Amino acid sequence: MVRRNASLPTRPRAVVAFLVALLALLGAGHAAAQALTPVRVAEHVWYVRGDPGMASAANRGFNSNAGFVVTRDSVVVIDALGTPPLGEALLAAIRTVSDKPVRRVILTHYHADHFYGLPAFKAAGAEVWAHRAGRAYFTSGEAAARLAQRRQDLFPWVDDTTRLVEADRWLDGDTTFEEGGLHFQVRFVGPAHSSEDLMVSVDEDGVVFCGDLIFAGRVPFVGNADSRRWLAAIDRLAALKPKILVTGHGAHATDAAANLALTRDYLTYLRAQMGKAVDEMIPFDEAYARTDWTRFSTLPAFEAANRINAYGTYLTLERESLGQ
């Protein structure tokens, strides 16, 4: 930094020009949305695929997926990505495929990396749907705390002007609808990865958007999620027999069964190992060190998520053992 300061311009006109250029650069960084490339997975269905790993300044918050379905009359969007500029970029990507109106955005869940892009879709006239359990996110203080963290970590893509958008329609449970000749099933499968998890099936194409119920090819983020119900939700998803699975993170799966198996195996293993430790009253640190993680340790996000997942699961199983 010091060396760079030493080369700053010193003449007044040069200083002004430098500041103008700097402001333009910052402004451009704020407004500019990276170009996203839609991947077509079925006749009516596309998605954009975020980078692996956690949201960071390096990936501009682009670490999650969002999908869209082009019907005869309109576009239905599933999830809206993790920053307002990414929402604009997603809308621009949709416009490279279709100019039909975006009627609705269905959120799989209210996690920051899936809904901060909503303002662009509200401005385009879309109606936002989410499950009713997501309301608690806004009243509990969780939304505000996460926004403060994102303003720090994802500036300038998330900043003081970033507005969180609540759903226009809070769903009570499962629902189905027909839109432009296609049949959609929206299934409530929470609380699992979050309290308000939804899956969306596009029946004609055999595609299921499953949000973060499945993390394709990587260690899922579990934290203190209810992994018992999560496993039950995976069973419900398997019962839909999807041909193609579009997950919240990672590549879409044409071999849906294999991806279901990975998340299911991981959750089952976490619960078995941490459950044994709770039963034997072994402290968490010791239990974690003793556990053989080699089955999962080469997967993406293992380093970032595994210890947090194990600790959350340890606490969950302590509660379960007390009958809570």
Interacting positions 173-212 with Zn ion (CB under 5 A):
212
Q: Which is nearer to Zn ion, 44 or 109 (CB)?
A: 109
**Nearest-CB residue for Zn ion:** 111
Least Cβ distance, residue 212 to Zn ion (angstroms)? 4
Binding map of Zn ion across residues 49-68, x = CB under 5 A, - = no contact: --------------------
Q: Which is nearer to Zn ion, 195 or 201 (CB)?
A: 195
Least Cβ distance, residue 193 to Zn ion (angstroms)? 6
Q: Which is nearer to Zn ion, 70 or 130 (CB)?
A: 130
**273 CB neighbour count, 10 Å cutoff:** 20
Least Cβ distance, residue 84 to Zn ion (angstroms)? 18
Quote the CA–CA distance of 32 and 44 in Å, as a whole number. 28
226 lies in the site for Zn ion, by CB under 5 A: no
Quote the CA–CA distance of 247 and 221 in Å, as a whole number. 13
193 to 6, 198, 211, 317: CA distances (angstroms): 50, 10, 9, 16
| DSSP one-letter code for 211 | G
Least Cβ distance, residue 63 to Zn ion (angstroms)? 10
Closest to 113 in 3D by CA, of 243, 301, 315: 301
Interacting positions 252-281 with Zn ion (CB under 5 A):
none
Q: Which is nearer to Zn ion, 111 or 252 (CB)?
A: 111
Closest to 189 in 3D by CA, of 149, 158, 225: 225
For residue 146, what are its two tokens? 């996460």
Q: Which is nearer to Zn ion, 110 or 288 (CB)?
A: 110
Interacting positions 102-161 with Zn ion (CB under 5 A):
111
Sign of CA dihedral 73, 97, 247, 83: negative
- β-pairing, 127-131 vs 102-106, is parallel
Q: Which is nearer to Zn ion, 111 or 271 (CB)?
A: 111
CB 223 within 8 A of CB 312: yes
Interacting positions 83-112 with Zn ion (CB under 5 A):
111
By CB under 5 A, name the binding residues for Zn ion: 111, 212
